[in-house]
Structure 1
């Protein structure tokens, strides 16, 4: 018998030696060898990085136009962008007028010979607005619009019009190139496309809204809702920038119907995971999309640049930090989307209820895919039921009929235990080795953090899993498939995640949005396919005959024992010979089968189904989020915690597809993981969080309280423990004056540092930073002569502020009564606000309409004055006017307040006086004269910009760079 066995073994070896070389190559490549697995893993990472880079890279995925008219329109738009970005041009600056006038000139020239195009300028004062914002607040805004509105009338007036919108103002510290010069230039390019060298009138009417003052209240879009052109609009495309450079990204859409039409764009780029972030308040920027959707009730898309955030709103948002390809990407989106909506579309006749379906979408290699939430909920529900129904019969066959798969409690429990312990270890690593050592490192080295954390997480899993195998080696039995057990357990985990995601999608709403969770569905499908393939393999594997406990095939096998089917000199840890078996111990059979029956190839099929595509989806989604959010670490402690939490989630989820195969990681992979872990940890602790490419963003304002002195203070806002204090202490005016920079905690990981400055701003026409900068004249005051001691009190004032467009007013009851312990009336004091229209009213002495008869909300009285009544009361006014020299002529009505003065509720006193804190802003950092118009300049900020290290960038803290405040009581 032994002789026969030797003959059979000799015959087997002889058969091996005659194996075709190609067959040998296939076996060595796809057999479950550690070297094969290493090759597959390295190939997967290479595939993931290269594919993601190509998809996200502007240069490789967006070619410049070859069409003559498109080339001409792009060149026209680029020239316009150079003009737009010549100066910082916030609403409260003469340079804003310069941009307005340049745009107006270009628009008039473009439509001069087109009878089907018309233009309207809000400077005729027909579109001023007075409104409450945000809804439910006690803040009222007055805004004088100078939007530039173009209407290209379509040949079919029955089709609802399409709006394209962008804003031409910038923040005070920015040249406004990507926020939002590129959007404005793209609209000019589109206007050029439809009005030059083409007599083709569009079928659908196109309206272009070049709006102003988006940055500090979304004012231009809000005022446009009152424009006569708005009533015919059903759809919009908002072009914006919340970062600088790169590709223009589809952030969000109002509904699935309009989002689905984004597939008409030739270079689509977007992912609804950002939409989820916006809707859930994780992204703190806002755009005009909010106004058009929520207040205007129309359907549309929000397309914007999103990175890098550290350039956003700083002096580095200039022409040098963008390129003509970024402009072309946004312009091509505007052209393609507009052209795609020229014919009648399903949205024109769609039932209203169908517009309420949210969209889940993503782009890949310039292809765009969108699904409605209702369809995904249906698909998910089917998958949640179908996958278990398919899987359970195979498990029954394997365990009830085949009896060919041995399971133990240890083998089932070890992966969940390892997974949980590795998560805890990763959290400790990030907290101890990263956050406590270099908390802002995510600002500059987020990729380093990702790979270091990934290496740590995989290494800890490997050590725990193989440690458990070593400790409980007596429980290792034959016919045991560790990778399939882990695959099934991960499938269960993704099944539970899909249940949660499906439930949330079925009740999806703003504030609890889950439209970015489409990858959960895809990952569940891939994981389920891999598990089913393994179960199918075991179901068709030959059943095991009963053996006694003394049978060697039922006993634990020693490490290093030769496995049947191995080549001579090939160790069993290099090749697993059991179908579906990845245990490194050898197998013993009474009747060994031919070598081909022992070879295991199901692992490679499982790997190829699960790992490469899962890795790409997870990495690409995680990359987009971290690339868009990591700079927000400078904005707050809350943002810092969110970034590091997401970093860990990203690493954990990205590791999951690889974990079933972690038992077969060889020395090369383990060595690489160890090197990445140690080297990465050292680099994290010793790398600079801020450098010239990843600057520290500090926010500036210069203030003076005119009630106390004429001494101005520079105030700078930044993160606690950042280099901000060192930067400020090294500024010449600080050192030369011998003063100390004073810093105070303002909450959420931020601090405000301030110092006195003798560098007074200049306002262009002999106006100094003195006590007469804000002059408040009380025209009428009912408390002076007790006109209405038991009813509404009223007052009328004029505020004279030279060369100014923006002031805020805050109300409280008289500071002289601050000794009173408690307020009985807790409403905001002012019930009525009046903006006097001096052009119609005259000198302010006439008797005006009785405001008591005016209903709540916005009204215009018989003299043309703007009136806003609010029962809840008004505690703040934000005022924006266009005339630089016109006074703020305002009226108020308020109820007196009763305050307790003792323990008895009848011990009280009536407060009649109203306290008004006025703060006015100037928003320039320009030469004193711009094309003949006076401007201001801010020497204190100029000094900071000049003397700060290269790793610092400067942004504005408020509506202006300079503010002056004054308090009065009426």
Structure 2
């Protein structure tokens, strides 16, 4: 009975093992992506940690919208303050509260030091921050929305953060924060953990950032429990105002404990549930603390994406790191992005498992950063910047998770060393092995003919066919890759948002197409011209390609400190090992001259293991048309004998004057030798004692048939795993970005690229796969292609986000409703709204990249921004908003001066913007406000065209002193004003105000000596029914596949003109 080798390089075995390998890789990757590690069965897994309490807190703070500019936001703040006090009391902690601290500037240094009490060292101190404020400017206002690129933007913000200091065993005693910073900030330091408790005006904020908030409450409870006091102090920051340009973390810069922070952990959310991923990290040392998490999840690719500007969205991370200089991490939920900033960001769309995933990672990370590991985060900064915390120098690192269970980490210089070593050593090693093979006459690659004598290609040369199969892989890769790329372009054109809800269908389509196209070419070429070197040549090409890619990766590592190319380093190393194995296989072959002599010599009487007739037929495909030399053609054939064919022509005469039969293969095998072999007598000294596969070269029979399985494992497992996992991660991150205005081709380009990279390990073996597997994948491709082209891209589970805002001219009562999105979807949505009936809908390009802004008259659904004020039913529309905003302008220095004081107040809002049309503001001061903080941006040399005002109190008016100058003539032509028809300009602002898409209507003419502009106030509290009927209408009447998010700081924007 013939023994069956399960690892032989035969069709059935190749199909089985390659399929099994990819199933073994794909199933865990999808499982990790779609599931979250379960929460522990006990609600109290650590001392001081209670998951039931955390979940109860989450459901409490997400009962309603709670943006900074809302009443419920204040209720949440009071609730969190009470919970902090309850936790400290429950743990039996002695704590104090700072209600009105003073800064440590030179003006109050004596007061601060005189009131610093060293004898009191409570474990915790609560900073109930209702005094901090920050005044900042941005050099270019266009960065956050205004249309004039020549002027800057100023902002005044009053903070209302909650800060808890947990004293470390190594911290200074007493109220050290009332001393000068240089006395303690160098040697004594701590760790910050941050989350923001405000939400967007259109979301409940469960994931963004309610889970982070309740995580911090549990961190406070854990580290104030007996036996858990940290070595270095912990600052727990619950900041208020992140959603409107990270003002909470900016105002934290005025707090005296800020210089104490050397490391930080920022908790965020950009999805709804799922796993909390390590978004980015400043360096390897802080990442090592995160690696202690029970289920670490993330990759350095995220950090590099931010560093390269490929990921645009920002979090408080940038403030803590780039402005304050702290070293730390950004841990955030990231999927599904379609629920981000929408009403679906609620408690029912997250889970206790997601809460535990962030909480467990946070506790272990903070435990490490505030423990002995924290000793490393001191010392001079590498940039020598004395305005930032002196927390030493971090190392650039490489990190990635293994199945969400363990974290791999190493220094970037180590990766660079490996990359450089692979670039230099791998080709040298392969050249050395090739040289040894050549010296042993066993280098069959690139060998066309071989002679049994010293000369090559002589009269007795025998065909080796060593070039056969060399050009197959690049041709197959170009064709298959081109088809997949073309498919991406086809989807971008015909159904560009199908990836929004059906990313797995797109993946299946790309993978099946690439597999089938690659198999068709490779299998077809192998069937026509079989080659035992097919696999080796594919490895040669892969080695060349990955070696070239590795050059670019190494440059990125060395010059730009980019570590995201680590999968290509692994790919090249695996490819090198596989090619090394292929070369070593050649040592099992006979020397080429030995094979030549054997193939030309008459066989003795007896049977060989391999029939010469089979050898003859195996090479017939390539040798039957071998031309004879002109000299040989003119010579007479050898004397005839009983073995001579009946008919001899030039085509049957060999170039060496040896006649061959009509079906001869070119090897010198006599009919007598074949007859002798049939008698079953053994042939002595035969270099060929096995049967080669199919019609491959005769010498290939000696190649080992099991080494391919090693190559499959070496190349297939790491390549499919790393590129598959990374590709799926990027797909989840990018699939919904098209609705936000990003390039629609981007997710398809990413999927196609990673589908190709993930399947590359199959290329050396795919020609042995039988037709059943690719035919199944062809059917998969046909089905998924049809679905992807005709299916509607959105559903109630994968909703399409539109951006809403209503603008109201407070002087006339005119209103417009604007909705941003892709026009092909926005127009049908507007058509469903009752208020749009018989209204003209106009659309124009939005400032949000590829989106469109559509607007229509909103006078039928005017907002009721003062629900406690009852107006007579016959009140004219132009009088309905007369008392909503008040603007009082005075000129203390006289009417001809260029200085004025604005006193601005508005009902039921905390945000108003001063917008100047005819002058540039050179200086502004808010009464009671701090001086301009240069850490957040330089003052624009041409002045400001906007001053944005935020307050913590509902009833306290802003008093702003403004100084201005004329707009330079050289800049007047550069101003980018947006013109609309005069009748629209008289009615209202037709386009969104604030946020990232501000556009402004301006008067055609204005006196050069006049200060002219408008006050725009923002209303964002949609919790009370009837206050914003237009927003409620969009939520109620939009199709089920639509969800609404904010277009700017206000859901309703009211404008009032001023002129001085």
TM range (shorter): 0.7 to 0.9
Task: Determine whether 1:604 maps to 2:709.
Answer: yes
TM-score, normalising length: structure 2: 0.76
Q: How many Å separate the matches in 2 of 1:517 and 1:361?
A: 11
Q: How many Å separate the matches in 1 of 2:300 and 2:37?
A: 23
Query: Which residue matches 2:619?
Result: 557
Deviation (angstroms), 1:340 = 2.2
Query: Which residue matches 2:903?
Result: 798
Structure 1: unaligned runs, 5 residues or longer? 1-16, 565-576, 788-792, 815-828, 841-853, 860-866, 904-908, 929-935
Asked whether the equivalents of residues 823 and 854 of structure 2 are also in contact (C-alpha less than 8 Å), the reply is no
Query: Which residue matches 2:596?
Result: 547
Task: Determine whether 1:202 maps to 2:227.
Answer: no
Q: How many Å separate the matches in 1 of 2:312 and 2:747?
A: 14
Query: Which residue matches 1:785?
Result: 895
Deviation (angstroms), 1:586 = 4.3
Task: Determine whether 1:940 maps to 2:1050.
Answer: no
**Aligned equivalent of 1:181, options 196, 207, 210:** 210
Deviates more, 1:367-376 or 1:536-545: 536-545
Q: Secondary structure of 2:469's match?
A: helix
Task: Determine whether 1:170 maps to 2:199.
Answer: yes
Query: Which residue matches 1:445?
Result: 502
TM-score, normalising length: structure 1: 0.83
Query: Which residue matches 1:148?
Result: 162
Query: Which residue matches 2:543?
Result: 491
Query: Which residue matches 1:750?
Result: 851
Q: How many Å separate the matches in 2 of 1:554 and 1:780?
A: 107
Q: 1:395-794 alignment to 2 at 5 Å?
A: 395-403=434-442, 405-407=444-446, 411-432=469-490, 434-469=491-526, 473=529, 480-508=532-560, 514-544=562-592, 545=594, 547=596, 557=619, 584-588=694-698, 600-636=705-741, 638-707=742-811, 709-721=812-824, 723-735=825-837, 738-746=838-846, 748-757=849-858, 758-763=860-865, 764-766=867-869, 770-780=881-891, 785-787=895-897, 793-794=898-899
Q: How many Å separate the matches in 2 of 1:603 and 1:123?
A: 67
Asked whether the equivalents of residues 58 and 325 of structure 1 are also in contact (C-alpha less than 8 Å), the reply is no
Deviation (angstroms), 1:888 = 2.2
Q: Secondary structure of 1:252's match?
A: strand
Q: Secondary structure of 1:403's match?
A: coil
Deviation (angstroms), 1:756 = 1.9
Q: How many Å separate the matches in 2 of 1:102 and 1:420?
A: 62
Q: How many Å separate the matches in 2 of 1:362 and 1:776?
A: 55
Q: 1:78-157 alignment to 2 at 5 Å?
A: 78-112=55-89, 113-115=92-94, 116-121=122-127, 123-125=129-131, 127-133=132-138, 138-157=152-171
Task: Determine whether 1:368 maps to 2:411.
Answer: no
Asked whether the equivalents of residues 359 and 370 of structure 1 are also in contact (C-alpha less than 8 Å), the reply is yes
Structure 2: unaligned runs, 5 residues or longer? 95-121, 144-151, 172-186, 383-391, 447-465, 602-611, 623-662, 666-673, 675-686, 872-879, 974-1005
Deviation (angstroms), 1:495 = 1.5
Q: How many residues align?
A: 859
Q: Secondary structure of 2:757's match?
A: helix
* Alpha-carbon distance change, 622 to 902 in structure 1, aligned in 2, over 3 angstroms: closer
Q: How many Å separate the matches in 1 of 2:328 and 2:201?
A: 29
Asked whether the equivalents of residues 589 and 703 of structure 2 are also in contact (C-alpha less than 8 Å), the reply is no
Q: How many Å separate the matches in 1 of 2:86 and 2:475?
A: 71
Asked whether the equivalents of residues 896 and 913 of structure 1 are also in contact (C-alpha less than 8 Å), the reply is no
Question: What's the RMSD between the two structures over aligned residues?
Answer: 3.2
Deviation (angstroms), 1:719 = 1.6
Q: How many Å separate the matches in 2 of 1:294 and 1:963?
A: 32
Asked whether the equivalents of residues 64 and 328 of structure 1 are also in contact (C-alpha less than 8 Å), the reply is no
Deviation (angstroms), 1:465 = 3.2
**Aligned equivalent of 1:308, options 324, 336, 341:** 336
Q: Secondary structure of 1:240's match?
A: strand
* Alpha-carbon distance change, 236 to 60 in structure 1, aligned in 2, over 3 angstroms: closer
Q: How many Å separate the matches in 2 of 1:857 and 1:617?
A: 45
* Alpha-carbon distance change, 667 to 489 in structure 1, aligned in 2, over 3 angstroms: same
* Alpha-carbon distance change, 811 to 580 in structure 1, aligned in 2, over 3 angstroms: farther
Query: Which residue matches 2:876?
Result: none
Q: How many Å separate the matches in 1 of 2:972 and 2:717?
A: 74
Larger % of helix: which?
Answer: 1
Asked whether the equivalents of residues 1018 and 1053 of structure 2 are also in contact (C-alpha less than 8 Å), the reply is yes
* Alpha-carbon distance change, 64 to 613 in structure 1, aligned in 2, over 3 angstroms: farther
Q: Whose Rg is larger?
A: 2
Deviates more, 1:312-321 or 1:675-684: 675-684
Query: Which residue matches 1:922?
Result: 1019
Q: Secondary structure of 1:679's match?
A: helix
Task: Determine whether 1:358 maps to 2:396.
Answer: yes
Q: How big is each residue's C-alpha offset from its partner over 1:630-677, in whole Å with a ceiling of 9 and x where there is no partner?
A: 1112112x4312212212211121121111112112111121221122
Task: Determine whether 1:873 maps to 2:963.
Answer: no
Q: How many Å separate the matches in 2 of 1:110 and 1:502?
A: 51
Asked whether the equivalents of residues 807 and 878 of structure 1 are also in contact (C-alpha less than 8 Å), the reply is yes
Deviation (angstroms), 1:686 = 2.0
Deviation (angstroms), 1:64 = 5.0
Query: Which residue matches 1:812?
Result: 917
* Alpha-carbon distance change, 948 to 123 in structure 1, aligned in 2, over 3 angstroms: same
Q: 1:286-305 alignment to 2 at 5 Å?
A: 286-305=314-333
Asked whether the equivalents of residues 37 and 295 of structure 2 are also in contact (C-alpha less than 8 Å), the reply is no
Deviates more, 1:695-704 or 1:151-160: 151-160
